[in-house]
Structures are given as C-alpha cells and as structure tokens.
C-alpha cells in the first residue's frame, strides 16, 4: 500500500496542470488491490476543501469522487466504512464530509468530543460541540 498526498489526488481529479495530471493518472493506473493507494482522512478532507472552495466543484461532484474511491479496490480510505454509511444517508445528513472526518479521527483517538467554531458542524455532527 502506498500513501498519497493531497496534491496527488487533486491532480488526478483537477487536470489544471497537464504534466502533474499525467503523472498522477499514470501512478493511479498502476494501483491494484494488491498494491492500493491509501487516502488518509487529512488528505481526503484537504481534497474536499480544495475541490469545493478553490476549484468550485459542486457537493455532488465531490461526493461522486468519494463514492468512486470507496467502490474501487485500488484505494483504501481511512474511515471508509463510516464514509460509506454517511453517503447512504439523505443529503441533509451527509453534508460536512470533511468535518465528519475530523470528528471520526478525534473519536478514534479517544476524544469525548471535538470543539469547533463552525455552528453548522456542531449542529449536524453529534460528537462536535460549539466552543462558545
């Protein structure tokens, strides 16, 4: 298994740099179930933020990417089971994918809650709490 950085995953999806896109595509074409790419939760959260906020991708497009990664045996996603469960829920419950990743990582480390200034995340994610 080979871990990947955010910029490699972003370059696969957003071909704004033709050379890096080609290199990323070649790298991912070599992945197999025996030698998959590992997508850590930080990498996925950063990718979601870059695609949504910097490159203007829609929520549906980003969710489509996550679904594609989850359905491929050539990728292993940290918190993959939780992501798959979340993506099966109604749209109103599955927003804030990146914030869910943050909360799941904290829970995995034994945190009782994750504090945030993000009112929406605090309202939608049970283990997140508004710091006020």
Tens digit of each residue's pLDDT, the chain (132 residues)? 999 999 999 999 988 889 999 999 999 999 999 999 999 999 999 999 999 999 999 999 999 999 999 999 999 999 999 999 999 988 877 778 889 999 999 999 999 999 999 998 999 898 999 998
Helix (H, G, I), strand (E, B), or coil: what is residue 38? Answer: strand
Helix (H, G, I), strand (E, B), or coil: what is residue 76? Answer: strand
Q: What are the extents of the domains in the chain?
A: 2-130
- Angle, vertex CA 34, rays to CA 19 and CA 97, nearest 5: 65
pTM: 0.86
């Amino acid at each position: 298994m080979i871990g990947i950085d955010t910029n490699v995953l972003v370059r696969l999806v957003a071909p704004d740099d033709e050379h890096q896109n080609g290199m990323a595509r070649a790298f991912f074409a070599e992945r197999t179930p025996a030698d998959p790419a590992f997508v850590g939760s930080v990498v996925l959260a950063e990718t979601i933020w870059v695609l949504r906020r910097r490159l203007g991708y829609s929520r549906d497009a980003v969710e489509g990417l996550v679904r594609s990664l989850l359905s491929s045996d050539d990728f292993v996603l940290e918190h993959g089971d939780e992501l798959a469960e979340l993506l099966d829920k109604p749209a109103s419950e599955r927003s804030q994918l990146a914030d869910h990743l943050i909360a799941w990582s904290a829970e995995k480390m034994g945190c009782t809650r994750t504090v945030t200034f993000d009112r929406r995340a605090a309202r939608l994610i049970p283990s997140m709490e508004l710091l006020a």
